[in-house]
Structure 1
Amino acid sequence: MSSPTVIIVPGWRNSGPGHWQSLWTARLPHVLRVEQDDWISPLKRAWVQQLSDTIESAPGPVVIAAHSLGCIATVHLPDAVKTRIQAALLVAPADPERRGVLADFAPVPYQKLPFPSIVVASSNDPFCPVRLAGAYARAWGSEFMRLNEAGHINVDSGHGEWPLGLALLQALGAEITPAQPLPLAA
C-alpha cells in the first residue's frame, strides 16, 4: 500500500516561508499544498472547492495538515470528499464568528468527522479561545491537545519546523521521511 498524500491546508493570509506548513511542504515526501485565489478576503465556497479539488487530485488516501481557517474549510468539505481523508491534524482552528472577514465560514459545522483527527490548540491563541477549540474537538470526535502559551502555533509564536506537529502527523499515518534532514529542536 502506498503512503498517503499529506495535504497542507493553510489558513487566512496563507502560511509564510518560516511557517511549519511551508517548511513541511518543502521537505516532506508525498505532499500537496492547497493554493487559494484570494488569501485576504476568503469565501467558503471557493476555499472548500479548492481544497476539494486538491484532495481529488491526490493519488489514494490523504492526511490533512490544516492550520487556522484551513481547519474550518476542512470540516466544511462535502461528505463525498471526506471519504478520501484517512486522518487530519487540525491546528489552531479559527473562530469565524469572532472575525468579520472570516464570517462566510460561520456557522462552523458541529458534526462528527468520518475520519480520525487531532485538534491542537493553545491556551493563549488570540484567534480562537481554547475552550471553543475544545468544543470543536468534542463535536468533531477529535482527540484534543492543549498547548500551554503556544499562541497561534505559527511563526509569530516561535513555531518553525514544529517537531511535535510532525510526530502527531506521523501518528495519523503520514510518512515523515523528509526529503532533507529536519532539525530535532523546536
Structure 2
Amino acid sequence: MNPTPTVVLVPGLRDHVPDHWQTVLAARIAGAVTVPSPTDAGLSRDARVMALNDTLSRIQGPVVLVAHSAGVLTTVHWAARHRRPVHGALLATPPDFDTPLPDGHPGPQTLRENGWLPVRRNPLPFPSVVAASTNDPLARLDRVAELARAWGSRLVNIGPVGHLNPASGYGEWPQALELLQTFGCRTTPDTEVSV
C-alpha cells in the first residue's frame, strides 16, 4: 500500500487569517504542513521559493502541493529549479502578473524587481490541477486557462468565487478536499465533506 502523501500548503503574498481556506484545510488534514512566510523578505520570489524548498527538504515520502494565488507562481518557479518528486499539485486561482493588478496590489515594476516576472510557462514535472474562478479580480479566466495549458495542468472551472479568499466571501472551500482526493490524499473521518 502506498503511503498517503503529505499535504504542503503554499500561501500567497498576503498574511493568512484564521478563516482562509488554506488555514481551514491545514487543520482538517492530518500531518499537513504550511510553508512559512519568509520574514524580512518583502515580496522576494526567491525567498518564497527557498522557503518552499526548505519545507520540502524536511519531509520524507510523497507530497502534494496546495498553492493559492502567488503561491501558485512560487510553486511553478520552484519546479523549474528543483527536482524533488511531487505526487501532484492543486493550484488555486493563480494571479495574472503579466497584466496590471487592481489598486492595492504590487505593480509590474515591483513584481519584476522582486523576481515574479516573467511568469514561467514551462510544463510542470508532476500532475497538477488549476482551479480557476470566473470572476477573479486578479486574473481573467482565459488568462488562467493559458497558464494551465502551458503548465500541462488540468483546468477546473470553480465558478464565480472571486479570488477564493475571505475578501471574496470564501473561508472554507470544500471542493479542495474532493480535488485532493484525486491525488490520493485522505481526510480524517470527521472531515469528510460532500460536494
* Fold-level similarity (TM above 0.5): yes
Q: What corresponds to 2:175 in structure 1?
A: 164
Q: What corresponds to 1:107 in structure 2?
A: 118
State the alpha-carbon separation in 1 of the partners of residues 171 and 32 from structure 2.
Answer: 18
Q: What corresponds to 2:19 in structure 1?
A: 18
Q: What corresponds to 1:90 in structure 2?
A: 91
State the alpha-carbon separation in 2 of the partners of residues 148 and 142 from structure 1.
Answer: 18
**Kept in 2: contact 1:4–1:30 (CA 8 A):** no
Cα distance change on mapping 1:53 and 1:153 into 2, 3 Å: same
Moved more, 85-94 or 161-170: 161-170
**Kept in 2: contact 1:12–1:39 (CA 8 A):** no
Q: Residues 49-69 of structure 1, C-alpha deviation per residue, up to 9 Å, x if partnerless?
A: 000111111111110000000
**Kept in 1: contact 2:9–2:26 (CA 8 A):** yes
5+ residue gaps, structure 1, are none
Q: What corresponds to 1:55 in structure 2?
A: 56
Moved more, 84-93 or 149-158: 149-158
5+ residue gaps, structure 2, are 101-105
State the alpha-carbon separation in 1 of the partners of residues 80 and 57 from structure 2.
Answer: 13
Cα distance change on mapping 1:68 and 1:82 into 2, 3 Å: farther
Larger radius of gyration: 2
State the alpha-carbon separation in 2 of the partners of residues 60 and 118 from structure 1.
Answer: 21
Task: Kindly provide the amino acid, as one letter, of the partner of residue 46 in structure 2.
Answer: R
Equivalent residue runs for 1:1-186 within 5 Å? 1-38=2-39, 41-79=42-80, 81-97=82-98, 98=100, 99-100=106-107, 101-103=110-112, 104-177=115-188, 181-182=190-191, 184=193
Q: Residues 101-148 of structure 1, C-alpha deviation per residue, up to 9 Å, x if partnerless?
A: 433211111111111100011111011121111011000000001222
Cα distance change on mapping 1:66 and 1:78 into 2, 3 Å: closer
Cα distance change on mapping 1:154 and 1:41 into 2, 3 Å: same
- What is the DSSP-based 3-state SS (H/G/I as helix, E as strand, rest coil) of the residue aligned with 1:75? helix
Task: Kindly provide the amino acid, as one letter, of the partner of residue 161 in structure 2.
Answer: A
**Kept in 1: contact 2:79–2:124 (CA 8 A):** no
Q: 1:38 Cα deviation (Å)?
A: 4.2
State the alpha-carbon separation in 1 of the partners of residues 191 and 41 from structure 2.
Answer: 31
* Count of paired positions: 184
Cα distance change on mapping 1:3 and 1:81 into 2, 3 Å: farther
Instruction: Tell me the TM-score normalized by structure 2.
Output: 0.86
Identity of aligned residues (%): 39
Q: Residues 84-112 of structure 1, C-alpha deviation per residue, up to 9 Å, x if partnerless?
A: 21100000002223342433211111111
Task: Kindly provide the amino acid, as one letter, of the partner of residue 65 in structure 1.
Answer: V
Task: Kindly provide the amino acid, as one letter, of the partner of residue 118 in structure 1.
Answer: V
